[in-house]
Amino acid sequence: MKNYFLIVLLCFIGVMTAQTEGSGKFTIKTIGINTKNSDFGTAFYGNNQLVYATPKKGISLVNDVWEKNGQRFLDLYIVDIAEDGELLNESHLKGDVNSRYHEADVIFTKDRKTVYFTRNNYYNKKLARDAKQMANLAMFKATVNDHGEWVNIIPMPFNDVSYSVGHPALSSDEKTLYFISDMPGTLGETDIYKVSINSSGFGNPTNLGPKINSESKEFSPFIDGEVLYFSSDRDGGMGGLDVYATKLTKYPPKPVLLNAPINSNKDDFVFIIHPTTRKGYFSSNRSGGRGDDDIYAFTEIEPVQFKCRQLITGEVRDKNTTEIIPGAVVAVKDEEGNIVNSVEVDEEGVFELEVYCETPYRLEGSKDGYTSQGKSLTTTAEADKVTKLLILLGTGDILEQVDTPVAVDEDKPEGLPEVLPEEIVKVRPSTYIVNIEPIYFELNSSYLNKDAKRELDKVVELMNRYPEMIIESGSHTDSRGIEGYNIWLSTRRAKSTVSYIINKGIDPSRITGKGYGETQLINECSDGVDCTEAQHAMNRRTEFVIIKM
């Protein structure tokens, strides 16, 4: 693909190691339509036709040879798709689409009436050049009329003479346009961007971010349902450009490198696949081809699989003041205690960590001068699930007064051992609670969601393990709302949690519930105090206080 790569990179580098698990299985075949020149960049036109780019053919009265590779400028051609994947009956596209400069890389809407395509920044018979006299790439939109002619060609509003825009792709609902650009804000040489399509035109381009883009070149996006295929020459590939896949979810998985024979040690790019037949095409300049870049047909035998991942996110705050703790670190450890992922909180005290599904982990928050907090958990099987945690770090005598004798807690609950099990933690003088994730309620609600029920199940498990244990479910609200209403609401919440635990088989004599309203705030967010929503949320909690072990 070296010649077209030059076209793009005259206008258009993260080290992200590719994940190779479940990277698909394919069979490929070369296509007879390939020539000694560059043939590449296929796009479906309905189910039975294909559009691709190749140097101009026929006699020309003007000099239209691109000096970088000695081949003529690229034009767009349309072909029929045969049963065996061969491409037949080539013809030049009709209308005003093909200019004296490069055209390539198109995408059609499903009704085949609208097309987006890439061209040198040539419009109204004028070629725009940047300060270095280079003609960058630009993206255009056209209407396809009943005769198959491309008419009403208009440039995208985010084209610019100083950078390139091209390689369009459409989301399945055709409400989002994806493309490649090196516009300001790009992470690498070229990044994948998206822009919304609406009745009044287009929104503002948005970079897909470092979970998809890298410091290298991203290239030729294609959307198949919620899967995004693209090419990149990032570290960890097989060589040159390689085809990767990821999912267009809120928290996309790390891009997966597709297996050979799709990828090779040369440039492999412009991967497209039909959503029904699971057949498609890609382009490559690998050894054994007929010319520079060649088109290959493929059949998907096994789809690309993404290892199930989830996200753990939350805040790290001071246990006493509820203020965020800048510079705090949150680490995820495996069963052997090895750190598998860690991150420093951002300026708002927020962290995000990717983890695998159905895997036991230990999450630990730490900062110099604070007592670390740890929590063991096992992730569920739900892909893309987001678990929200609040990590409270305290400053205490543990770090600063190691040699000072520890005072005996005279009011410790009956039967509580000197060495506390991991599931029990002291939170205030003479107050010991079950160490689960806080059960937070939405404002004015006593409804138990799935996350709350999962934590309540841990309480049930602990009570089954310690059959003498007696606990109180204490429910609390924030300071907003009328005081009497808050008592009523917190009582409802307490009853809701107690009923759930009793329904799981716990003797009713071993658990009581009480609503405290706003009488036991754990921070300064009382009436009239200006607090953030996160600070108010800390008070909307249910604690399971140990009465007896």
- Residues 102, 211: one domain? yes
Pairing of strands 114-120, 227-232: unpaired
Tell me what pLDDT residue 411 has: 64
Spans of the chain below 50 pLDDT: 1-22, 58-63, 65-67, 69-70, 396-409
Tell me what pLDDT residue 488 has: 85
DSSP 277-321: T-EEEEEE--TT-SSSSEEEEEEEEEEE----EEEEEEEEEETTT
The answer to whether residues 383 and 309 touch, using CB atoms and an 8 Å cutoff, is yes
In a domain, 343, yes or no: yes
- Residues 233, 343: one domain? no
Tell me what pLDDT residue 102 has: 63
Euclidean distance between CA atoms 49 and 87, whole angstroms: 8
- Residues 266, 192: one domain? yes
Please choose, from the candidates 278, 173, 177, the residue with its C-alpha nearest in 3D space to the C-alpha of residue 226: 173
In a domain, 407, yes or no: no
- Residues 218, 327: one domain? no
Sign of CA dihedral 31, 73, 288, 166: negative
The pTM of the full predicted model, rounded to 2 decimals, is: 0.63
CATH no. for residue 496? 3.30.1330.60
3-state secondary structure of 411: coil
**Burial bucket for residue 166 (CB in 10 Å: 0-12, 13-18, 19+):** buried
In a domain, 286, yes or no: yes
- Residues 398, 430: one domain? no
CATH no. for residue 38? 2.120.10.30
- Residues 114, 254: one domain? yes
**Residue where one domain finishes, among candidates 355, 376, 402:** 402
In a domain, 188, yes or no: yes
CATH no. for residue 351? 2.60.40.10
In a domain, 408, yes or no: no
- Residues 120, 177: one domain? yes
Tokens for 368, please give them.
């110099």
- Residues 285, 330: one domain? no
The answer to whether residues 12 and 164 touch, using CB atoms and an 8 Å cutoff, is yes
Tell me what pLDDT residue 57 has: 55
Number of domains composing the chain: 3
- Residues 60, 139: one domain? yes
**Angle subtended at Cα 106 by Cα 104 and Cα 108, rounded to the nearest 5 degrees:** 160
User: Between helices 483-503 and 450-465, what is the axis angle to 10°?
Assistant: 60
- In this structure, what are the phi and psi dihedrals at residue 370, rounded to the nearest 5 degrees? -120, 155
**Residue where one domain finishes, among candidates 402, 431, 458:** 402
Euclidean distance between CA atoms 252 and 250, whole angstroms: 6
Tell me the residue range of the domain where 326 lies: 308-402
**Angle subtended at Cα 58 by Cα 54 and Cα 64, rounded to the nearest 5 degrees:** 65
In a domain, 57, yes or no: yes
In three-state form (DSSP H/G/I as H, E/B as E, the rest C), the secondary structure along 415-453 is CCCCCCCCCEEEEECCEEEECCCCCCCCCCCCCCCHHHH
- Residues 335, 218: one domain? no
Helices (H) and strands (E) in the chain, counts: 5, 38
Q: Which residues pair with 138 in a beta bridge?
A: 119
Tell me what pLDDT residue 216 has: 95
- Residues 134, 275: one domain? yes
In a domain, 245, yes or no: yes
**Residue where one domain finishes, among candidates 304, 337, 353:** 304
Tokens for 432, please give them.
């010991």
The number of angstroms, rounded, from the C-alpha of 510 to the middle of its chain's C-alpha atoms is 45
- Residues 314, 294: one domain? no
The number of angstroms, rounded, from the C-alpha of 248 to the middle of its chain's C-alpha atoms is 6
